[in-house]
Amino acid sequence: MNAFEFITRYGGQILELTGEHLYMSAIAILLAIVIGVPLAVFMTRNPKIAVTIQTIINTVQTIPTISLLLIIMIFLGLGYSTAIVALVLYSLLPIVQNTYAGLENVDKSMIEAGTGMGMTRLQLLTYVKLPLALPIILAGVRIAAVVAVGSATIATFVGAGGLGEMIMRGISTTDDQKILAGAIPAAVLVVVIDMLIGKIEKRASYRVNTARTNK
């Protein structure tokens, strides 16, 4: 079967599975941001608890993907929910770590300037700390996105679909073309998402550096 015949036969399936793959990954990344950023803010205000939280998140990262999926499956069953929860747990570490580091390393003079203007803690966080920490936060989101998109191929083991399903079909039928039909789009997605978030990160870094220069 040549490339044209393969695309004609499986092109629709590949697009559908790519959509499922992106859906799972996007939901997981958004949830990881919604959970991770506030958690990191909480950690900056509670240093003693921060160590415990980091230890727990680091421990989750050591659990093999298949094992974690099976543990979650016991409670949530087969399907998207199990896969998304697992992807969220794997995506949390870089977001929490980078947000925490970014907030902790904000230029103290900028904080003092905001305090001098009468800003509250919430205003300092919203208008000073988070904007200045944004490049570092985005670097964490970038890593999390790569992890989520790459790990989503394993979601097929819990019936969640995605490009991993095409890969598994290829493995079960010893069909190299099907394996590549799942693996190549997954790899391309990782590269494209990494590049897109990387560009956003560079723009944010430029704005922060400009703000520091003009302060």
Domain spans of the chain, in order of start: 3-210
CA end-to-end distance (rounded Å), the chain? 63
Distance separating alpha carbons of residues 89 and 36, to the nearest angstrom: 10
Distance separating alpha carbons of residues 26 and 84, to the nearest angstrom: 9
Per-residue pLDDT, 100: 97
Per-residue pLDDT, 9: 77
Per-residue pLDDT, 11: 85
Q: What is the DSSP string of the chain?
A: --HHHHHHHHHHHHHHHHHHHHHHHHHHHHHHHHHHHHHHHHHHH-HHHHHHHHHHHHHHHTS-HHHHHHHHHHHH-SSHHHHHHHHHHHHHHHHHHHHHHHHHTS-HHHHHHHHHTT--HHHHIIIIIHHHHHHHHHHHHHHHHHHHHHHGGGGGGGT--SHHHHHHHHHHTT-HHHHHHHHHHHHHHHHHHHHHHHHHHHHHHHHHHHHHHT-
- Here the tokens at position 157 are 């083991």
**Per-residue tens of pLDDT for the chain, all 215 residues:** 555 677 677 788 999 999 999 999 999 999 999 999 999 999 999 988 999 999 999 999 899 988 999 999 999 999 999 999 999 999 999 999 999 999 999 989 889 999 999 999 999 999 999 999 999 999 999 999 999 999 999 999 898 889 999 999 999 998 888 898 899 999 999 999 999 999 999 999 988 888 766 66
Q: Are 186 and 163 in contact (CB under 8 A)?
A: yes
Per-residue pLDDT, 2: 59
Per-residue pLDDT, 125: 94
Question: Was domain 3-210 assigned CATH 3.40.367.20?
Answer: no
Per-residue pLDDT, 161: 87
Per-residue pLDDT, 12: 87
